[in-house]
Structure 1
């Protein structure tokens, strides 16, 4: 078998991979999307199945009002003492001198839960991980934030001992064990004890095209005791601009039962418009930061090296002792909303799907209109990741607005400043109409205006479809679900990419979603009904 990278396509960033027995688990960042932390499992590293997210209650995760790309940063999953340990960070500020955040700990004996109520750990810095040493002691390892404008904000990797008798840190034990290289922006640390040496894996260079992972090692856990790997970095694509995979870096190391080694890393697959250089701009990552897995060997001096070179490989040999795992052939999804629980592929913004937002079951999804899609608080939307460059997604919508302040439809969404949608609303003649609008850097544009498509009297429902084709996308409508009409508005998919958002905003960590939404900022909570959602992936084109 071969691992085909990325193994977790679409927004699956900052992987924390572990092995428990013969099973591998990966935990990924989810930022402002609820529920928090995305989990997958596999026995062969090739085929992965989605598991329930652990942070599924507001007791474990309260993100109302969090900024875009705040929330859950770089969770760390580990296993020790007969249970899973999950360290996660809830970031409340993304812009400016400060990174107000809280690191929490929750545990579970079963990966599917239940997870314990969260323990507040600290707020020293993000990307915290828990290291279980062979001598039984435990340590929190984390990026350290420095708000002082005359210092670099990424102030090294701090190690603090964790007391399991009190389930609290011991702040007086804190020390900086590694300051990174001149590349700076050192973050995402994971610590391992291998052959009686301590190996620290850490990301550098920012999670953009200069991203990389470095390795340092030490005989002790003393302050400033770690030396960097010679001939590094361990993995990067900064100097491989024409390679299919880019931005590899932040990740975690795992060994197989038979002693092979692998490294799970974040990765992106940027594309370019036909009239652009492939080097500048290097591209637009609409699928966000995904997960790749590379094989690792050890050189004669005991340093880890990525097999095939530090740029990595698209196709990687699976573990020799892999146990074949059944998983879906692709990420296509059909949802008839017959279940009273949302499918695991669906996410909501900042808040859980509950009776305030709507209901699901008996073949329909009902969303109660609340805030606009530009809000950070009470948005009635469920959305799933773009996980392919080319796909069609469609849904049936029933909605009866009585003011233009009420809207419901199908959206392609990156964050509150970058999204578009096709929707039903009311015009000034009190007719139900179809409009297409886009929010681009928080500038809102209605494309049809006075030419909005009038829904014929007596028409109960409309069908909406989006056709995404790597560098552009469009919307269609139907009054019978069979005969489709294209709306002549072609939108630039780059607007929904990490790289485009980065040009004006520091929170650029997620990826594009396609979703269903209802808005009633008039405050009357007008509901919309959705039936038969379909997301169909299509072959990739050059």
Structure 2
């Protein structure tokens, strides 16, 4: 049986392709760099993170983009001996990262690009700009070899439907551009928010899959079909073929934004995004994840309606497990471990180094935490509701504008940061800064804890669903747990600042700031991340 979700933690908007015996899923990365996560499987049960293709400034530069902008909804296909990757680079979505207006609430900037590669792990080409008319682009390869781009159409005009339908336009490989006129082939249903188009050819029909209802509790997958590429498209008799909108008890919520793949023996599987909320439809601190399950075609040529499945029937392929990721990263290699990312910039050498002090991750203090430009923050996804994470930091700040430590981070307005700093009265000390949404005073601080100079400090966090606890330890000493219990549920889409988009998920990692501009560095000797099935009250003291 397949255990869903197959891609745990922040991995939304899945696009799947099979090439021979290999399956690949591309998911959105938003403001996290490098862009697009591609996972690999040979049995649809076991998956590994294989690569992130958008690694160069020419492919992706997100400096200055607001939170939850950046790379949206990639589409991964294979044809003519090439992998084709389409993605949106969102530059504005109506709000700043702190919820304030950036201008017009109706205007958006969505730039859609195409890159190609002969191999899944690259090298990937420089991008071709396709259009900027909307988001969620998808490339359809028709049986006659012609190619077509579909995307959601954004309409900023007053009084209309912002989600104005799905448009289709031919792409010329020879000219490397869209040709002909775009045509609106599907304007959606009463559920609204029509997006995420994928087109398929089967038994003389063109099948159009879309997402509707928004990416929250009302999310769902809508199907339509036509005998002709340009339509008209008739709706599925049940309209929505997969959703959890009327099942608040379902363990997988927010199901939608789907794609289809066929196994070698002709069975069809659907991948889709989902969320695992805290109990009683609480916050989805793990972000939007990816699930997969089989779907069946009826005698009428329609996919049968189904519901999200926590366990799904595997296709019976030979099992192909991958080695488990290590719980501890010692930073002994010259490259950053694959599970870690940073924010926005295609110039990571400005933020961190694994060579400056071998065996350590050195973060160079840059801008304030939450900056939309250059902040030295390296983190990995939270992938379970209960986990422990820890590190040791060697850091000697000289004044209050220099900080470094362990952070649980969603975005610039939602985080808990256990950091070391210094001031002229207290000297070197430790405290927690929390940025809390929906509060008049968004930043809160705990009382400072004095620290001795000249020694590294171990830092640790323990998360049990909505509860978050910090601890620290000095060399030769015992772990000291901070008295405060922090709210982990703010690290979620649902903990929303007014007017602010929230589409990512919780991360845990390391950070360093030097807001004086002196670029003081902090060295981190290791980082460990261990998932737990039990609560922190029952834990042994961390080791």
**TM-score for the superposition, normalised by structure 2:** 0.94
The structure-2 alpha-carbon separation of the partners of 1:336 and 1:482, relative to structure 1 and needing over 3 Å to count, comes to farther
Contact 2:111–2:131 under 8 Å retained in 1: yes
Q: What does residue 73 of structure 2 align with? A: 74
Of the three residues 175, 186, 191, the one matched with 1:178 is 186
Deviation, 1:446, is 4.2
The Cα of 1:326 is off from its aligned counterpart by 2.0
Give the Å deviation of 1:124: 1.0
Give, in whole Å, the separation in 2 of the partners of 1:390 and 1:440: 21
Q: Given the alignment, which residue of 251, 257, 269 partners 2:258? A: 251
Match of 1:445 among 419, 443, 446: 443
Query: What's the counterpart of residue 21 of structure 1?
Result: 20
Alpha carbons 1:240, 1:311 under 8 Å: kept: no
Alignment of 1:264-413 (within 5 A): 264-272=271-279, 278=280, 282-306=281-305, 310-320=306-316, 322-329=317-324, 333-352=327-346, 354-361=348-355, 362-413=358-409
The answer for the alignment partner of 2:100 in structure 1 is none
Aligned residues: 522
Classify the secondary structure of the residue corresponding to 2:485.
strand
2-structure distance, mates of 1:498, 1:332: 28
Kept in 2, the 8 Å contact 1:124–1:145? The answer is yes
SS at match of 2:372: coil
Paired residue secondary structure (1:79): strand
Residue deviations 1:172-191, cap 9 Å, x none? 33101111111111000000
Q: Does 1:56 align with 2:52?
A: no
In 2, the alpha carbon distance for the partners of 1:480 and 1:195 equals 69
8 Å contact 1:154–1:185 — kept in the other structure? yes
Q: Secondary structure at the match of 1:311?
A: coil
| Structure 2: gaps spanning 5 or more residues | 95-104, 537-543
Q: Please report how far the alpha carbon of residue 430 of structure 1 lies from its aligned counterpart in structure 2 after TM superposition.
A: 5.3
Change (3 A) 1:78 1:427: same
- Spell out, residue by residue over 1:217-273, the C-alpha distance to the aligned partner (whole angstroms, 9 max, x if none): 0000225x111101231100001110100011102000000111100000001114x
Q: Distance in 1 between matches of 2:476 and 2:420?
A: 16
2:406–2:459 CA contact under 8 A, matched in 1 = yes
Select which of 480, 484, 488 maps to 1:489. Answer: 484
Q: CA RMSD in A?
A: 1.5
Provide Cα deviations, 1:163-221, integer angstroms capped at 9, x if missing partner.
11101101x33101111111111000000001121000000000000000001000002
- 2:503 aligns with 509
- Which of 101, 115, 125 is 1:116 aligned to? 125
Tell me which of 126, 139, 156 is aligned to 2:165: 156
Contact 1:463 1:481 in 2 (8 A): no
2:429 corresponds in structure 1 to 433
Mapped pair 1:477 → 2:486 = no
Aligned residues of 1:143 and 1:189 also touching (Cα < 8 A) = yes
Cα distance in 1, alignment partners of residues 446 and 129 from structure 2: 50
Q: Deviations over 1:405-455 (max 9, x none)?
A: 110000000001111110110033251001111011384434333xx1111
Q: Given that residues 413 and 442 in structure 2 are in contact (C-alpha distance below 8 angstroms), is that contact kept between their aligned partners in structure 1?
A: no
5+ residue gaps, structure 1, are 273-277
- Note if contact 2:32-2:343 (Cα within 8 Å) is conserved in structure 1: yes
Following TM superposition, by how much is the alpha carbon of 1:313 offset from its aligned partner in structure 2, in angstroms? 1.3
Distance 1:296-1:133 versus aligned 2 partners, 3 A rule: same
Range that drifts further, 139-148 or 349-358: 349-358
What SS does structure 1 have at the residue aligned with 2:336? Answer: coil
The equivalent of 2:205 in structure 1 is 197
Distance 1:357 1:86 in 2: 28
